[in-house]
Amino acid sequence: MNEREHWGTRIGLILAMAGNAIGLGNFLRFPVEAAKHGGGVFMIPYIVSLFLIGIPLMWLEWTIGRYAGIRGHGSPPAFLSLAWKHPIAKYLGAIGLFTPTVIAIYYIYIESWTLAYGFFSLTNSFPAIDHKEVQDINAYLTPFHTFHKSFLGDANGALMYPDRYAYIAFIITLFLNMFILSRGIVKGIERVAKIAMPLLFLFAIVLVIRVFTLKNPANPDVNIITGLKYIWEPDFSKISDPSIWLAAAGQIFFTLSLGTGAIQVYASYLREKDDLALSGFATATSNELAEVILGGSIAIPAAIIFFGVANAQEIAQSGAFRLGFITLPAVFQNLPFGNIFGALWFFLLFFAGITSSLALCQPAISFLEDELKLSRKESSLLLGIIIFFSSHLVIFFKGAIEEMDFWAGTFGLVLFATIETLVFMWIFGGEKVWEELHKGADIKVPRVFFYILKYISPLLLLTILVTWFWKYFSRIGETASWNIFLTRGFLIYLFVFMCAIVGIVWKRREE
């Protein structure tokens, strides 16, 4: 059995795990979801989901990772085949290899926008506007929308022709990711987490203070209270709407990066007697602090203070990208030292992004190292080449990001989490998982979580899966343009290719 690397320090491990969880979604997706789904009342299903899905699954994934890691394996196909001695287990595990790799393919590109926009802010490259009473938000944001479209090369037709800065930022971001990964766990991922995470929290706190002291230049009565009111004032008419509960469960799922395979892979670098229970809990609470308090206090309140509730509602409805890359630059352009605050915003997103993309790449790196016996540098180089070529699909073909995000970033995550929960809690054995979780544990997890993990979490995951299946699968039959079919073809090819490699590796091992 090969000697696997271990985390250097506990704080490094927790920061890296928190870095995996704290991503762009904490600062862009959460406030939009909360605002869209009843404000304060959204927090009821959100907190319930945190305790019924989030924290229990976090513990399960840490346990799976350490269990496999001390047996010399750190890749999702190995996790499942260690727990279930059935030939299909390794192929089900391949979903946990496919999903994070596909997400990394488009996530690194989006992450590169934040890097480029950070430099655009520093160099005052955004369109210049004078603040005035905003009547038509779409007209007001047109220069920023045009700027963003031109950056991405979004023209009519199926193809995109990105700005040279977009391409350069992508190359730099990809190179940075692969360079850090090639340095290994302690010298690469852990060292970056120890620098990026404190900076991320510092930048977020500075931005929260700035937003809390903002006033609308044309109407000083519109201030942070107006913004917080929009996010937090409960609309009780929505509490009985099942879609709110589903949205909250989905948000908890995404924000903790469950089902990506990344938590298990990071946990596979733990020692046999390292604590799982307290470290997993600390990771979840760090993420919640970043999301609920910091994430909920920057983007939406700032947009409301500057553009008013009605306009901000429209912005929130039109998605997280419009909020982060079009609306916020317009807000910062109106502030004294706005270029500095803009840069803090985008570098905050960049740190959140890179600590997550490193984690998303790690399942594939671990597979190449543990199962194909490549060196860390060879694995990083090979994955870098695969991501470089595959990313051209999302850079040049319109709609590819959304298509990949649906299949991998939405459906794939829930599917893999459901499979791993059922395999570990029902086939491998819930009691064995519970015993494994408590080996070296610094806290005793209340027994109620055993029953939650065994009965309630799988049931909720299956409900989410079936509902999404019902709601979204009609889109398969919808008329789509050739670039969407090309993306789907690529995804099928990649999954089949990964299954084939997994099959060959396992066959050789059996021989």
Q: Return the residues of window 55-84 that contact other proteins according to CB under 8 A.
A: none
Q: Does 249 bind other proteins (CB under 8 A)?
A: no
Q: Does 234 bind other proteins (CB under 8 A)?
A: yes
**Closest approach of Cβ 286 to other proteins, in Å?**
6
**Closest approach of Cβ 224 to other proteins, in Å?**
10
What whole-number distance in Å separates Cα of residue 17 and Cα of residue 197? Answer: 10
Burial 207-231 (b: 16+ CB within 10 A, else e): bbebbbebebeeeeebbbebbbebb
C-beta of residue 431 within 8 angstroms of C-beta of residue 92? no
- Closer CB to other proteins, residue 159 or residue 443? 443
Mapped to the 3 state alphabet, what secondary structure does 416-465 carry? Answer: HHHHHHHHHHHHHHHHHHHHHHHCCCCCCCCCHHHHHHHHHHHHHHHHHH
Q: Which stretch binds other proteins (CB under 8 A): 39-47, 152-160, 255-263, 407-415?
A: 39-47
Q: Does 285 bind other proteins (CB under 8 A)?
A: yes
Q: Does 271 bind other proteins (CB under 8 A)?
A: yes
Q: Does 275 bind other proteins (CB under 8 A)?
A: yes
Task: Out of 43, 78, 137, 160, point to the residue binding other proteins (CB under 8 A).
Answer: 43
- Quote the tokens at residue 24: 């762009």
**Closest approach of Cβ 64 to other proteins, in Å?**
21
Q: Does 153 bind other proteins (CB under 8 A)?
A: no
Q: Does 459 bind other proteins (CB under 8 A)?
A: no
What whole-number distance in Å separates Cα of residue 338 and Cα of residue 305? Answer: 15
C-beta of residue 266 within 8 angstroms of C-beta of residue 20? yes
Task: Out of 36, 47, 186, 372, point to the residue binding other proteins (CB under 8 A).
Answer: 47
**Closest approach of Cβ 150 to other proteins, in Å?**
39
- Closer CB to other proteins, residue 220 or residue 336? 220
**Closest approach of Cβ 34 to other proteins, in Å?**
10
In this structure, what is the dihedral angle of CA atoms 108, 109, 114, 116, given to the nearest 10 degrees? Answer: 120
- Closer CB to other proteins, residue 168 or residue 239? 239
Task: Out of 286, 362, 380, 418, point to the residue binding other proteins (CB under 8 A).
Answer: 286
**Closest approach of Cβ 44 to other proteins, in Å?**
9
Task: Out of 292, 394, 413, 419, point to the residue binding other proteins (CB under 8 A).
Answer: 292
**Closest approach of Cβ 447 to other proteins, in Å?**
19
Q: Which stretch binds other proteins (CB under 8 A): 173-181, 232-240, 384-392, 465-473?
A: 232-240
Within 8 A by CB and 6+ apart from 388, the residues are 174
**Closest approach of Cβ 274 to other proteins, in Å?**
8
Task: Out of 225, 385, 466, 492, point to the residue binding other proteins (CB under 8 A).
Answer: 225
Degrees, nearest 5: CA angle 138-139-144: 80
Alpha helices in 219-375 (DSSP H): 224-232, 242-255, 262-267, 277-288, 299-317, 320-321, 328-333, 338-370
In this structure, what is the dihedral angle of CA atoms 305, 251, 105, 355, given to the nearest 10 degrees? Answer: 80
What whole-number distance in Å separates Cα of residue 304 and Cα of residue 111? Answer: 25
Q: Bin 378: left if φ > 0, else alpha if -120 < ψ < 50, else beta.
A: alpha
- Quote the tokens at residue 111: 């992450």
- Closer CB to other proteins, residue 72 or residue 234? 234
3 state SS of 160: strand
Burial 276-311 (b: 16+ CB within 10 A, else e): bbebbbbbbebbbbbbbebbbbbbbbbbbbbbbeeb
Q: Is the dihedral angle over the CA atoms 121, 127, 132, 135 positive or is it negative?
A: negative
Count interface residues toward other proteins (CB under 8 A): 30
Task: Out of 12, 39, 56, 363, point to the residue binding other proteins (CB under 8 A).
Answer: 39
The DSSP secondary-structure symbol of 340 reads H
- Closer CB to other proteins, residue 278 or residue 374? 278
What whole-number distance in Å separates Cα of residue 197 and Cα of residue 18? Answer: 8
Task: Out of 97, 282, 343, 408, point to the residue binding other proteins (CB under 8 A).
Answer: 282
Q: Does 281 bind other proteins (CB under 8 A)?
A: yes
C-beta of residue 216 within 8 angstroms of C-beta of residue 306? yes
Q: Return the residues of window 462-481 that contact other proteins according to CB under 8 A.
A: none
Task: Out of 5, 61, 111, 274, point to the residue binding other proteins (CB under 8 A).
Answer: 274
- Closer CB to other proteins, residue 95 or residue 445? 445
Q: Does 187 bind other proteins (CB under 8 A)?
A: no
- Quote the tokens at residue 324: 């982060």
- Closer CB to other proteins, residue 238 or residue 392? 238
Within 8 A by CB and 6+ apart from 295, the residues are 26, 27, 30, 31, 204
Within 8 A by CB and 6+ apart from 82, the residues are 67, 68, 71, 73
Q: Does 48 bind other proteins (CB under 8 A)?
A: no
Q: Which stretch binds other proteins (CB under 8 A): 61-69, 86-94, 280-288, 486-494?
A: 280-288
Q: Return the residues of window 14-33 that contact other proteins according to CB under 8 A.
A: 14
**Closest approach of Cβ 271 to other proteins, in Å?**
7
**Closest approach of Cβ 135 to other proteins, in Å?**
26
Task: Give the residues lining the site for other proteins (CB under 8 A).
Answer: 10, 14, 39-41, 43, 47, 225, 228-229, 231-234, 271, 273-275, 278-279, 281-282, 285-286, 288-289, 292-293, 442-443
